Chain A
Amino acid sequence: MTMTAVSAPAAAGAPPRRPSPLASGLLGAGKFLAPFAAVVALWWAIKAGFDLPDRILVSPYQVLVTFWNLLSRGVLADYAATSLYQIGVAVVVSAVVGIPLGFAIGSNAYVARALGLFLRFFQGVSGISWLPLAIIWFGFTDTTVQVIVVYTLVVPVIFNTMLGVRAIPPSYALALRSLGAGTFRVVKDVYLPGALPSIVVGLRLGMGYGWRALIAAEMLIRQGGLGDLIFGARTFGQIDRIICGMIAIGVLYVVVDRLIVQPIENLTVARWGVLRK
């Protein structure tokens, strides 16, 4: 991953000298942080260059102060916890509901073809467009948010599980039956592992969509969560708070995606190898 510059020319035959792990770690982190630093610098330049008042744009320093403030008073943790809890529940519900459904649809060619268009249709009707109906049915409650997020998440999970099952060569299942396997065996040894990389992709996509839908729903429902935090801050013109909330939204997404979801995906891809030769 990290391109480490070799400073001293390596002696013939000897392996090239590597920089210390700490140094290469810093170098690696620097590469990823540089674009962020550039944006902050630009932001600062705009703020100072146009001499913008705080009600239009605050300085990065002001945001830093507010961020620390929100963090130390536990405000940020409170709002973030609500959002994380919501997305967590939605992931579990979508996996429990979506994976079996995807299997049921994918294991029958006729049903898969019949429902392909149907699923595409609902992929197009975004979760947020269900909000008016959900509010009429469930009011301005957590339930409404949950319904929107689960819906957003479950569709890609169902769809990708189905695709994963469909992509398994039929000969795999036949080979197992010729080895004496029953249906349970075939599901356990062929369909489940065969569809797993695709299921992980579905969950990962779903989480991305679900996170965005969650923030949007929270902004309208106003029952806690980071969406509530930034929308509420707008009412009082607290630009620093809005930006702090936005940073938290992005950071949490990256952390969850990079530290939890991507490692799982890499693991399945690495072990499963090139599935479709």
Chain B
Amino acid sequence: MDATSPDKIIVEGFQHFFETADGPVQATGLIDLKIPAAEFVTLVGPSGCGKTTLLKAIAGFITPTRGRIVCDGKTVTGPGRDRGVVFQELAILPWRTVRRNIGHGLEIAGVPKAERERTVARLVALTGLKGFEDRYPHELSGGMRQRVAVARTWAADPDIILMDEPFAAVDAMTRLTLQEELASLTFSTRKTVFFITHSVDEAVFLADRVLVMSKRPGRIKASIEVPRRKAGGRDWESFTTDPEMQAICEQVLRLVRDERMDGAARPGETPDPLKEAS
């Protein structure tokens, strides 16, 4: 890690345009962001505001039109194994079994088979995929495929985990388990996480900090601190009964809803990043 900065990820003057047949399309507004090491940051915002675009820039899949991304003190120029990605479209390989998809990162890293199998077995159990190890992705449900994608990134054990709505298609029960596991695992292993979601509850439950984006082209319009996770992570039972947490949920919800409703009535207006609903 860079000795001069405690920040694991720095987004500096970032702005992105996609080239299309009808000329450039602005995907995000101006974004500046710092994520310290071991922080869990969640990002919410209306559809099309540029959340995935920001994640892709951090992952190194796209070169920013303006500004730069710095990870561990180095400017990002492409993807790397220090930044694991769970894609919105999953991107698990259809010609590999569940086992071989999950173990893929370890295989690339040259981890011996026996050790690889142990890690895979642990993650298969954790994600509730037991009995499906030798199935191909097309034989799984959408939610199961999503769990394979999460397990694959998890198995490779990257410092930074970038996740794009990873639990959107997972059933409610499994989602609760995965969220609790994610919260405690990333806390105990001190992972830096950047997590996109449409669920306000999920965003607050997982986060040390929730970022709210304005509508397209999105900027970060609010950053809400959530009290630090405790050693054991969080659990849903205490979360739903904790008035402080519920107040934060309401605050975030108001910010998001604001963006969706009257945001549309005022096109072109730049939202005030300091606007707080509380």
Contacts and interface: CB of A to CB of B under 8 A. Distances in A.
Interface of A: 169, 171-172, 174-181, 185, 189-190, 193-194, 196, 271-275, 277
B228 to A, nearest CB: 28
A179 B139 CA distance: 24
Interface stretch (B39-47, B80-88, B185-193): B80-88
Interface in B74-94: 78-81, 83-85, 87, 89, 91-94
B95 interface: yes
A40 to B, nearest CB: 44
Contacts of A185: 108
Given A271-B95, A272-B95, A178 B138 contact: no
A199 to B, nearest CB: 13
Interface size class of B (residues with CB under 8 A): 20 to 34
Contacts of B156: 179-180
B93 A178 contact: no
Given A179-B156, A193-B93, A272-B136, 8 more contacts: A174-B61, A175-B152, A176-B108, A178-B153, A180-B105, A189-B93, A274-B94, A277-B138
Contacts of B79: 174, 177-178
A106 B100 CA distance: 26
Contacts of B109: 180
Contacts of B80: 177-178, 180
A272 B91 CA distance: 15
Contacts of A171: 87, 89, 91
30 contacts: A171-B89, A174-B61, A174-B85, A174-B87, A175-B85, A175-B87, A176-B104, A178-B79, A178-B84, A178-B158, A179-B84, A179-B152, A180-B80, A180-B81, A180-B105, A180-B108, A180-B109, A180-B156, A189-B93, A190-B93, A193-B93, A193-B95, A194-B93, A271-B95, A272-B94, A272-B95, A273-B94, A273-B136, A274-B138, A277-B138
Given A179-B156, A180-B80, A271 B91 contact: no
B59 interface: yes
Contacts of A277: 138
B137 interface: yes
Contacts of A178: 59, 79-81, 83-85, 153, 158
**Shortest Cβ-Cβ A-B pairs, 8 listed:** A180-B81, A273-B138, A171-B91, A179-B105, A177-B79, A175-B91, A178-B85, A193-B95
Contact of B108 (A181, A194, A274): A181
Contacts of B59: 174, 178
Contact of B81 (A179, A272, A273): A179
Interface in B134-169: 136-139, 152-153, 156, 158
A181 to B, nearest CB: 5
A177 B78 contact: yes
A177 B104 CA distance: 11
A185 to B, nearest CB: 6
Nearest to A179: B105
A271 B87 CA distance: 24
B93 A174 contact: no
Contacts of A273: 94-95, 136-139
A275 B94 contact: yes
A179 B109 CA distance: 8
Contacts of B136: 271-273
Nearest to A174: B61
Nearest to B88: A171
